[in-house]
Structure 1
């Protein structure tokens, strides 16, 4: 009996693990084991350490899948020995020693930047730390333009903030240099400039597909296409 690698799905900023719901159903219907843990969204090093710990405790090989900021997380966490492949969905693909600010700075800004709102949360030492959300009225156009308006409204209300420090933190590793990778470019992404995604694909030498007209929320709007790319990665690493 062939045992598939586990697909470990890592959501990005302004989302949670339920954003993978339809993709999970597609994968499970094909007999692929799936995990979709919460991404803490508190900083690249700590988030990657958490996801790496989840991957390391899986019995058998793992294909890490990252959406958006989750791509940076899997680039670092993917150095775990049992990670056999990386899948990037409308995601950042940073190099070792590169921050997301530096990566994005190579290209024109997306509309995300001008629609971020700052909040604060307290650390254990009592200091306040900045976190970011997308302005609720701008969320559908920026994040989920091809999602039904009622669904986009729910996603906007349920978005999880990202600690602002995550944008300036440098990636400590780039697992895509030593492990195979697959990348889906969302052709109409307004949260990450699609050129950032295409650049990551070229630099990593990834297998790449582009979904024309897809928003940043491509896992919600186009789950079959997303799941198919993950299945390709799972098949290639089985």
Structure 2
């Protein structure tokens, strides 16, 4: 016979086990019918997920579930596959957002992803099949990235990692960001392989998924003329151009970027 106190302890253990089991199998994203789409943010080269901090704060304040993916920056195909695996883990609809090279990644990742309802390009590449980031940045005059790159870092596999020289980073990449912040971004920048920037893109998702674009007129990485070209080619639902904004428009103008993402989310329902 089990004593009353023993029975009580067993009951408490059973209740605790039920809570743990529920927590273990519960998905971390909102999935209820009618819930707002999950927003997945993909950073680009020479940046990291913290570049989205201001956008995330605004989106979460407005009730969105947000995930900032850690883009590997190794190859368009590999990075696209990585983000695609994240998308498969998210129940319900998704608004997929890419910055800079991250635009090439979301264009690849969303292909065939039924839950991706909208694409948002933030100072980003939206390549056609066969196009490269390097080719698109040079399609129109205006990019000054090349001379600001540090000597490539040789990798064990024979590849090369690219960084922006830290003393040139603020003016090249984040001219409208406070100097102290830009300096931190320079120190914490994530490198990209030269192969990724020269890799031909696969068939893009923007041909089948509605897209939105936002960029600045003072972007020194991807010429505004190139971004205008890509937005028009993708039949952008809305293109926002911010006067004087640098390449990291999501850092310097998070409210405007969040507003466009929320417009895409509203249209995606």
Quick one: which of 118, 128, 137 aligns to 1:104?
A: 137
1:85-107, CA deviations, whole angstroms, 9 ceiling, x for partnerless residues? Answer: 10000011100121122222321
Which residue is 2:184 aligned to?
Answer: 154
C-alpha distance in structure 2 between counterparts of 1:162 and 1:208, whole Å:
27
Which residue is 2:260 aligned to?
Answer: 229
Which residue is 2:155 aligned to?
Answer: 122
- The structure that is strand-richer by fraction is 1
C-alpha distance in structure 2 between counterparts of 1:160 and 1:113, whole Å:
17
1:145 matches 2:178: no
Quick one: which of 239, 243, 251 aligns to 1:220?
A: 251
C-alpha distance in structure 1 between counterparts of 2:200 and 2:96, whole Å:
20
Q: Where does 1:159-170 land on structure 2 (aligned, <5 Å)?
A: 159-170=189-200
Shift of 1:121: 4.8
State the TM-score, normalizing by the size of structure 1: 0.95
Q: Report if aligned partners of 2:152, 2:160 keep a CA contact under 8 Å in 1.
A: yes
Quick one: which of 55, 58, 64 aligns to 1:23?
A: 55
Q: Report if aligned partners of 2:155, 2:161 keep a CA contact under 8 Å in 1.
A: no
Shift of 1:200: 0.7
Which residue is 2:67 aligned to?
Answer: 35
State the TM-score, normalizing by the size of structure 2: 0.85
Q: Report if aligned partners of 1:140, 1:149 keep a CA contact under 8 Å in 2.
A: yes
1:195 matches 2:264: no
Consecutive unaligned residues of structure 1, counting only runs of 5 or more, are none
C-alpha distance in structure 1 between counterparts of 2:146 and 2:155, whole Å:
24
| Worse-matched range after superposition: 102-111 or 220-229 | 102-111
Quick one: which of 49, 55, 58 aligns to 2:90?
A: 58
1:105-144, CA deviations, whole angstroms, 9 ceiling, x for partnerless residues? Answer: 3211511111112333534xxx331010111111001111
Aligned length: 235
Which residue is 2:209 aligned to?
Answer: 179
C-alpha distance in structure 2 between counterparts of 1:81 and 1:191, whole Å:
32
Which residue is 2:14 aligned to?
Answer: none
Shift of 1:41: 0.4
Consecutive unaligned residues of structure 2, counting only runs of 5 or more, are 1-32
C-alpha distance in structure 2 between counterparts of 1:209 and 1:122, whole Å:
39
Cα gap change, 1:105 to 1:111, in 2 (>3 Å): closer
